[in-house]
Amino acid sequence: MKFVDEAEITVHAGNGGNGCVSFRREKFIPLGGPDGGNGGDGGDVWLIADEGLNTLVDFRHQRTFHAQRGENGMGRQMAGKRGEDKVIRVPVGTAVINVDTEETIGDLTQHGQRLKVAQGGHGGAGNTVFKSSVNRAPRKAVPGSQGEERELRLDRQRGAFEPRLYFHHFRRVQQQIPERIETWFQFARPAISVRQPPEFFAVGNQQIETAEAVFGFFYCF
């Protein structure tokens, strides 16, 4: 298991649906009037704390998240469907920071805690909204507004029991651990992370527990 301290993601809330320009057309009703519906609101982006997760490594592979767009309005005064929210699960103890402003949006410290990080756009108004005694056949509709887009930095706050590995200790670790284990400490790009080793190491004819062979070289915070 890998423990990764930070990850950067981009979230896009859904855009609002456009309003509809429509007029009632039925037999024997020559002047039906406007009946265009409103567009649906766009979906929001939520972060939810999950105690079953203990790493942010998944965000290295998927960094962009989109909520669903709201549907456009339709005739017969039918409003568009609201877009579905996008829910992103993160480990408990994750701090959410806006990359552009360096502002802390919130901390997820309890299991099941939710935090809205991007607001969906509002649906546009159909031409029924603009009907009045002066303008009985409006041909005007409003497009939906844009959803919020943010770049976020997720920073997992570690507890005192969780170790971090210093890179200047790699040489000493490699000298005292069998060669087949050395590849665990060879990174193409430096990152503060920990790889869960097997339960035992085999050194000669003896088995040494992991805690003695590896975690003795960690600094704990």
41-81 tens-digit pLDDT: 999 999 999 999 988 988 988 999 999 999 999 999 999 99
How crowded is the C-beta side of 184, counted as CA atoms within 13 Å?
A: 17
**Model pTM?**
0.69
Q: What is the pLDDT of residue 31?
A: 82
The pair of three-digit structure tokens given for residue 44, joined into one six-digit string: 């929001």
Q: What is the pLDDT of residue 30?
A: 82
- Whose CA is closest to 68, among 89, 90, 87, 96? 87
- Indicate the pLDDT class of residue 216, thresholds 50, 70 and 90: very low
Residues 6+ apart with CB under 8 A from 216: none
- Examine the domain organization and report whether 178 and 103 are in the same domain: no
Rounded percentage of the chain residues whose pLDDT exceeds 90? 61
Q: Return the amino acid letter for 63.
A: R
Domain range spanning residue 150? Answer: 6-156
Does residue 5 register a pLDDT over 90?
A: no
What does the mean pLDDT of the chain come to? 79
Q: Report d(CA 71, CA 147) in Å as an integer.
A: 14
132-171 tens-digit pLDDT: 999 999 999 999 999 999 999 999 866 544 544 444 444 4
77-109 tens-digit pLDDT: 999 999 999 999 999 999 999 999 999 999 999
Q: Report d(CA 112, CA 96) in Å as an integer.
A: 15
Concatenated DSSP letters of 54-121:
---GGGGT--EEEPPPPPPPBTTTBPPPPPPPEEEEEETTEEEEETTT--EEEEE-STT-EEEEEPPP
Q: Report d(CA 51, CA 53) in Å as an integer.
A: 5
**How many domains does the chain contain in total?**
2
- Indicate the pLDDT class of residue 114, thresholds 50, 70 and 90: very high
Q: What is the pLDDT of residue 29?
A: 85
- Examine the domain organization and report whether 214 and 143 are in the same domain: no
Does residue 147 fall inside a structural domain? Answer: yes
- Examine the domain organization and report whether 92 and 190 are in the same domain: no
Residue 150 three-state SS: strand
The domain that holds 35 is classified in CATH as 2.70.210.12
Does residue 71 fall inside a structural domain? Answer: yes
